[in-house]
Structure 1
Amino acid sequence: MAPTTAKTWSRTLKLKSFAPHLLLLIVVLATFYGSCYGSPNRGKNQIPNCYDMSSESQCSQNPKCRWCRSHALDDMCFSRSEALRLPAQVFTCKLIRFNQNF
């Protein structure tokens, strides 16, 4: 029984020495994550989430978004690149800046 107790004690010591290192790693990663995603410049270079815009007026305020109408589905706001890939048989999308269809 003594060897089993020694192995258990050895594992406990390894876990106790591992826990502070793991905690330190988590704190460091959280700091980097917060500094990257909490900065005031966050989102300036990101693709806008046009899907969250539920009205044509909201969609038209963002030059990277296009308002698309459909007789079969709900009218929706899409990113410009997504609007270009939509089937023309289903959606008609506006170029918001010029108020022309593409």
Structure 2
Amino acid sequence: MKSLLILPAKGCRRSRAVLKYLDDYRIPYQRIELDSDEGRRLAEQYQLRASPGIILNGVSLNPMELLIPPHCRVNEDKAREWFGIKNENKSNEHLEKE
């Protein structure tokens, strides 16, 4: 099982988009606020330069590779590659909202 850590920033559209996507696909993750003491320490340790911080199996990933501008949509192909998801993982709640 993959270890996924998300460090969202308050008020960040990208952070909200990534968290919603992970929740919709029921992808387990640990959340640590970027502006917390631990979040700042991890941001420095992993040299995070954009929010949300995404650390997968101990490797920092660039959220800009996951999101399609300008609307912060998740790139489905990149998400499948990073998180190993399949369409059947998607919750019905997400389908009803679309």
**TM-score interval, normalised by the smaller of the two chains:** under 0.3
RCO higher in structure (CA 8 A, sep ≥6): 2
TM-score (norm 2): 0.20
Q: Which has the higher helix share?
A: 1
TM-score (norm 1): 0.20
Bigger radius of gyration: 1
